[in-house]
């Protein structure tokens, strides 16, 4: 709900449990007054004013030394205007000066959610979401900004985006454009970031705010394995079910920065948006630049409610899943079984074994095209290698149908090998500065997706190859970062736009794929979790969570991922042992339990299993199909951290009548203590049957006293299926 008071300049956004408020003051500065638990009244009375040394005063203050932009909480900060904290927007004007100083002019309410041209965004109709548009102007620069707010009351979700408009008669340069700025009155907060590396992504790291600026980001051209475009600010004592926290997410798949500043007066400012390093944008007269969307959720009661609200909003108002409302197929991926060494007979033998166990989707990974026999060449020639698949993909897909299976396919359309026909014909189609030797990643180069003709060529090849193919699934991979991005299609003064234009090009091609094959499920991937962000989820309803399929490592990876992203978006497979990444063994039961926490599948030679193991796989598949809707659409509860005696989590139906509790034991200890697992999300008044136990358990006992665990052996798994009676 959006409430405007045009007399006082007060603007209030109410969600189900929170209030976000701002106010245009007597000088037209849009002040941020409050964000927290739902509350009434004008909170601008809480803003203190004092004469602060070396905090300058704007001209409008007319000698009032208690009024300084360096001190006041602002809704969208400028630059070069006496506010020395983090800038939201920085401009270079035609005269060479740099700065941005905006004043409030007006605002309107739209009874639908705004859309962003060429960029992902949460969506909602009038009974689900409202839009607030606030206009600020810098009259000297002849530039206005439109601050866009989407209010999703049921999810406690507020989205943010900014449109920058040049009203002058000369081109200006944008040097920085954050999607959100959030000023908070106290810096007594912890910052949680989600960091890691290839094969160990999104591990939570928590630390108190210190004086100065703390930031994470990516300059790799993708959102990266190293840092995720999602952060949490929280009270020092915040936990899963208590104390205030703020989650901030950027719907963007390229260079980003999340920065928090604790200033000299112990207030905090968070900015989130495109990384300013190396970024510029030339904005001609009459043109508009739009930032990516950011999303905010405030939880007065800890991380759990914040995560569940993000999960619900992403499921309901962001991902566009062709399998929505119907069971997704359990898949088997060929990669860890065959790598590049296969032909149709080997693949069909694997498919036949898999189909017999209840698996429904066969994913043919890398190596099916061009002369691709290893990862050193052949990338970019998107026609079928008929020495491996005689007649092409169409007859192969028909043979799979005869086995009762669908075909899935791996592609990596953004990159190219130098020995490909595509590169031989168009060497200028790669991103690289003139005269510079190539910097290769995985022996491949990145195509210039800023150029429509490049995207058209890749799309045309794949469309011709896939014509007549019975395709159900597409895995879209990207196995290297951008280095020194330079486009032959742009003049020197626009090279700072390349990285952002590249991301826009990826989004455009993904949308074209989605519209051309509307019934095909696209799974995102970038060496696993290198581009696991909400921007990609708008186009790819699930993402391969990590190349690391070791079940014990996945406990931590999926735990960190769950703070922002729902289980249904996490590609998770049972893989072979010992793990190719850790050389660790884990039982089939543990691997199945961990993989069932996401979009479930297998990545091993099912035909090589023993009869007992095959029976266990068939049982896993049947169990997953029985509880798939609960995992995909239920509420997710983290019941423990992954560094204790066990890692436990629960999926609970929205009506609280069914739950699946999963647990994997940690390292063995001598003489272990007796443990009781306290559940969450149940109805305290209901009685629950657990698995086939004859005794019923009251919901309040399970949540307050706990469920007694057996003595746990190292890395064993337990699954408890609860149904209310």
Catalytic residues: 533, 613
435: left (phi over 0), alpha (psi -120 to 50) or beta: left
Determine the 3-state secondary structure of 273 from DSSP.
strand
The beta strands (E) that lie in 25-122 are given as: 30-37, 89-92, 103-110
Our measurement of the distance from residue 692's CA atom to the centroid of its chain's CA atoms, rounded to an integer in Å, reads 38
As a whole number of angstroms, the distance between CA 475 and CA 520 comes to 10
640, 564 in Cβ contact below 8 A? no
Answer whether 273's CB lies under 8 Å from 321's CB: no
DSSP helix/strand/coil, 451:
coil
Q: Helix 498-516 crosses helix 452-466 at what angle (to 10 degrees)?
A: 30
Which parts of 357-477 fold into alpha helices (H)?
A: 393-402, 421-425, 452-466
Cα separation, 272 vs 223, whole angstroms = 13
- Choose among 480, 413, 412: nearest CA to 443: 480
What is the per-residue DSSP string for 129-144?
A: -EEEEEEEEETTTTEE
Contacts for 369 with CB less than 8 Å, ≥ 6 apart: 378, 381, 382, 383, 384, 385, 465
Sign of CA dihedral 356, 361, 366, 367: positive
CA dist 147 and 682 (Å) reads 40
Entry field: residues in the chain: 725
The CA distance from 9 to 23, in Å, is: 5
Sign of CA dihedral 66, 71, 77, 81: positive
Please state, in angstroms and rounded to a whole number, the distance separating the CA atoms of residues 706 and 213. Answer: 42
CA 189 to chain centre: 24
Peptide bond into 671 cis (omega under 30): no
For residues 165-177, one letter each, b for 16 or more C-beta atoms within 10 angstroms of the residue's C-beta and e for the rest, the string is bbebeeebbbbbb
Contacts of 535 (CB under 8 A, 6+ apart): 119, 120, 223, 250, 251, 252, 253, 292, 503, 507
| Both structure tokens of 338 | 């065959």
CB contact at 8 A, 180 and 248: yes
What is the C-alpha R_g of the chain? 27
Closest residue by Cα to residue 220 from 194, 195, 250, 255: 255
Token pair, residue 637, equals: 């509860």
Residues 6+ apart with CB under 8 A from 474: 408, 409, 411, 513, 517, 520, 521, 522, 523
DSSP-assigned letters across all residues of 579-631: -TTT-----HHHHHHHHTTSEEEEES-GGGS-HHHHHHHHHHHHHHHHHHHHH
- Residue 560's H or E segment, with its range, is helix 551-561
The interaxial angle of helices 588-595 and 611-633, nearest 10 deg, is: 20
């Amino acid at each position: 709900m959006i409430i405007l008071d045009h007399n006082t300049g007060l603007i209030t956004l109410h969600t189900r449990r929170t209030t976000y408020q701002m106010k245009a003051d007597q000088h037209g500065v849009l002040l941020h007054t409050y964000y927290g638990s739902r509350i009434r009244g004008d909170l601008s009375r809480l803003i203190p004013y004092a004469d602060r040394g070396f905090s300058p005063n704007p001209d409008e203050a007319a000698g009032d030394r208690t009024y300084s932009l360096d001190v006041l909480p602002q809704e969208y900060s400028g630059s070069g205007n006496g506010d020395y904290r983090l800038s939201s927007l920085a401009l270079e004007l035609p005269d060479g000066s740099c700065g941005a100083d905006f004043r409030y002019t007006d605002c309107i309410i739209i009874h639908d959610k705004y859309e962003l041209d060429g960029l992902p965004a949460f969506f909602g109709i009038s009974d689900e979401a409202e839009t607030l548009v606030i206009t600020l102007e810098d009259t000297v620069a002849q530039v206005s900004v439109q601050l866009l707010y989407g209010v999703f009351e049921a999810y406690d979700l507020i989205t943010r985006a900014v449109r920058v408009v040049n009203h002058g008669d000369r081109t200006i340069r944008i040097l920085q454009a954050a999607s959100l700025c959030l000023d908070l009155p106290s810096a007594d907060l912890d910052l949680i970031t989600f960091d890691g590396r290839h094969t160990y992504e999104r591990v939570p790291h928590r630390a108190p705010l210190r004086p100065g600026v703390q930031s994470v980001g990516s300059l790799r051209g993708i959102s990266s394995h190293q840092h995720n475009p999602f952060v949490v600010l929280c009270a020092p004592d915040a936990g899963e079910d208590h104390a205030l926290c703020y989650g901030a997410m950027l719907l963007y798949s390229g260079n980003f920065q999340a920065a928090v500043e604790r200033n000299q007066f112990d207030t905090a400012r968070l900015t989130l948006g495109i990384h300013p390093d190396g970024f510029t944008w030339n904005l001609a007269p009459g043109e508009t630049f739009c930032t990516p969307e950011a999303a905010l959720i405030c939880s007065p009661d800890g991380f759990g409610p914040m995560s569940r609200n993000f999960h619900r909003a992403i499921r309901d108002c962001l991902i566009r899943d062709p399998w929505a409302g119907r069971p997704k197929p359990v898949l088997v991926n060929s990669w860890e079984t065959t790598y590049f060494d296969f032909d149709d007979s080997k693949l069909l033998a694997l498919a036949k074994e898999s189909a017999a166990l209840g698996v429904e989707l066969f994913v043919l990974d890398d190596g099916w095209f061009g002369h691709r026999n290893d990862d050193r060449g052949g990338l970019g020639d998107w026609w079928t290698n008929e020495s491996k698949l005689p007649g092409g993909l169409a007859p192969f897909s028909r043979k799979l149908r005869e086995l009762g299976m669908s075909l899935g396919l791996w592609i990596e359309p953004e990159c190219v090998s130098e020995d490909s026909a595509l590169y031989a014909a168009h060497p200028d189609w790669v991103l690289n500065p003139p005269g510079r030797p190539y910097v290769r990643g995985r022996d491949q180069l990145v195509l210039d997706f800023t150029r429509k003709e490049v995207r058209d060529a890749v799309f045309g090849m794949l469309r011709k190859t896939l014509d007549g193919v019975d395709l159900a699934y597409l895995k879209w991979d990207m196995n290297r970062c951008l280095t020194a991005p330079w486009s032959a299609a742009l003049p020197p003064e626009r090279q700072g736009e390349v990285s952002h234009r590249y991301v826009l090009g990826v989004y455009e091609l993904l949308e074209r794929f989605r519209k051309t094959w509307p019934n095909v499920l696209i799974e995102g991937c970038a060496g696993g979790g290198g581009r696991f962000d909400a921007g990609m989820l708008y186009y790819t309803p699930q993402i391969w969570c990590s190349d690391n399929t070791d079940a014990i490592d996945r406990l931590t990876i999926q735990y960190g991922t769950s703070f922002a992203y729902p289980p249904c978006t996490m590609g998770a497979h049972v893989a072979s042992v010992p793990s190719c990444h850790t050389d660790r063994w884990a039982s089939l039961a543990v691997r199945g339990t961990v993989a069932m926490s996401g979009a479930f599948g297998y990545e091993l030679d099912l035909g090589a299993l023993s009869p007992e193991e095959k029976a266990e796989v068939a049982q896993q598949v049947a169990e997953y199909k029985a509880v798939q809707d609960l995992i995909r659409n239920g509420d997710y509860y983290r019941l423990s951290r992954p560094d204790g005696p066990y890692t436990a989590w629960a999926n609970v139906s929205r009506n609280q009548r069914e739950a699946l509790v999963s647990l994997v034991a940690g390292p063995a200890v001598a003489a272990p203590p007796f443990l009781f697992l306290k559940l969450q999300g149940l109805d305290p008044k209901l009685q629950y049957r657990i698995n086939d136990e004859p005794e019923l358990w009251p919901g309040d006992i399970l949540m307050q006293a706990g469920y007694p665990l057996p003595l746990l052996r190292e890395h064993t798994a337990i699954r408890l299926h609860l149904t209310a009676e």
